[in-house]
Amino acid sequence: MSRIEIVDLKQNVLDDNDEMANKTRDKLKEKGVFLLNLMSSPGAGKTTTLVKTINLMKDKYSIGVMEADIDSDVDAIKIAETGAKSIQLHTGGMCHLDATMTEQGLDALGTDGLDLVVLENVGNLVCPAEFDTGATKNACIVSVPEGDDKPLKYPLMFQVADVVIVNKTDVLPYFDFDMEAFKNNVELRHPGIPVIPISAKTGEGMDKLVEWLEQQISR
Amino acid sequence: MSRIEIVDLKQNVLDDNDEMANKTRDKLKEKGVFLLNLMSSPGAGKTTTLVKTINLMKDKYSIGVMEADIDSDVDAIKIAETGAKSIQLHTGGMCHLDATMTEQGLDALGTDGLDLVVLENVGNLVCPAEFDTGATKNACIVSVPEGDDKPLKYPLMFQVADVVIVNKTDVLPYFDFDMEAFKNNVELRHPGIPVIPISAKTGEGMDKLVEWLEQQISR
């Protein structure tokens, strides 16, 4: 197993989070680094999706990953196996990442020469949506077993998302998940944002996700 | 569809949460009301499990339900259809319930004559674990699609849980979920607590859950 760098994050309650986030975003833009903030419920498949995405993009892009977790480093180890530059961020019980914590992560990772950095946020559909991390774009993953009503129950997450990924489409036959109803629920919260169904397990739809990411990075 | 009472909760940051929680617990004990705090990730099946549990227990017990949600009343409507006394609590964006909010819910529900009250907490595996609601016992549901590593990644939830329910066992053949590994991970976090595998969809294992609840209520 790879030896993973673990960074213990400290929250800074004094700074203005939005100001910090805008500074981070500007700085990354200047350096040509695209930062994707990846959010979802626990177990929706953020890490598996990320591993597949890295494997599809790593020949063309330099990719770095910050794996945020309350505890453990199981995800960072999986990411390191792809060859991507990766670090584990420990939030010390915190339920989300803010702009200051993200900045600490970016400093520890080192962004020189990277095209794409992915921040895998804490598995939580509520709190991460409340804090601008400074990411260029926000992605939210919902998995089929969670149900098609999630945009009704967790409105803010879908309002701040720039793209919604529906993972685990391979198990659609075993769940009462209505894709059209889900898309309508997303549309209610955030009109016009793309919804990309994928199965990170089988690879189905991954080309569409990579296409979306490449379009964003090239902007 | 039933007309559901919706209560907008206010957080009270001045009171000591643990003190409030202990007061609530004592008061409920005196009245002979058992309060179960039901926590899980979004989409783990709290409401479905609750509907099945109520249907199995309602002939013997008077049951009340408080459905907490950031927005929407889809869950409270499903519960009301069982005939249980139910209200919808809106947290106004808050990611968890504290003791003061629970007290407001109990007042609005009215606990006279009830044997069992279930608080369906906000779908979140992080924040609800940090706040004692005043419940007699805490239950945590993890569903098979979320993966067997959740106790490693969300330690506090499993430390505060008195019972862990594993839902969606009907889809075990389609996921890499190792029940023994999961039980070992729970044991690491909270030695000795029961782990009850169920399928709220098919009814498998529901007898074991009802048995555990009846034992707790009769204490």
A72, A130, A143 ranked by CB distance to B152: nearest: A72
pLDDT at A144 over 80: yes
Distance CA B54, CA B210 (A): 9
Task: Inspect the interface and report whether the beta carbons of A145 and B149 lie closer than 8 Å.
Answer: no
Residue B152: the pLDDT is 93
Rounded average pLDDT over A130-157: 96
pLDDT at A1 over 50: no
- Interchain contact A152–B (C-beta under 8 A): yes
User: For B107-130, b where at least 16 C-beta lie within 10 A, e where not — what string?
Assistant: eebebeebbbbbbbbbbbbbbbbe
Rounded average pLDDT over A65-90: 89
Distance CA B137, CA B216 (A): 8
Confidence band, pLDDT 50/70/90 cuts, at residue A5: confident
- Which pair of tokens denotes residue A60? 């063309």
Task: Inspect the interface and report whether the beta carbons of B149 and A74 lie closer than 8 Å.
Answer: yes
Residue B77: the pLDDT is 87
The answer to which of A3-7, A72-76, B95-99, B163-167 has the lowest mean pLDDT is A3-7
Quote the radius of gyration of chain B (alpha carbons, Å): 16
A42, A170, A175 ranked by CB distance to B153: nearest: A42
Confidence band, pLDDT 50/70/90 cuts, at residue B74: confident
Residue B10: the pLDDT is 74
Distance CA B34, CA B30 (A): 10
Q: Computed from CA positions of residues A6, A11, A15, A21, in that sequence, does the dihedral angle turn out positive or negative?
A: positive
**pLDDT, tens digit, 9 for 90 and up, residues A78-104:** 999 999 999 999 988 889 999 999 999
pLDDT at A9 over 80: no
Closest residue by Cα to residue B40 from B162, B210, B157: B157
pTM of the predicted model, to two decimals?
0.92
pLDDT at B218 over 60: yes
pLDDT at B151 over 80: yes
Strands B63-69 and B34-40, by their bridges, are unpaired
ipTM entry: 0.89
Distance CA B90, CA B64 (A): 17
* Beta bridge mates, B63: B116
Contact B86, B76 (CB under 8 A): yes
Q: How far apart are the two ends of chain B, measured CA to CA in Å?
A: 37
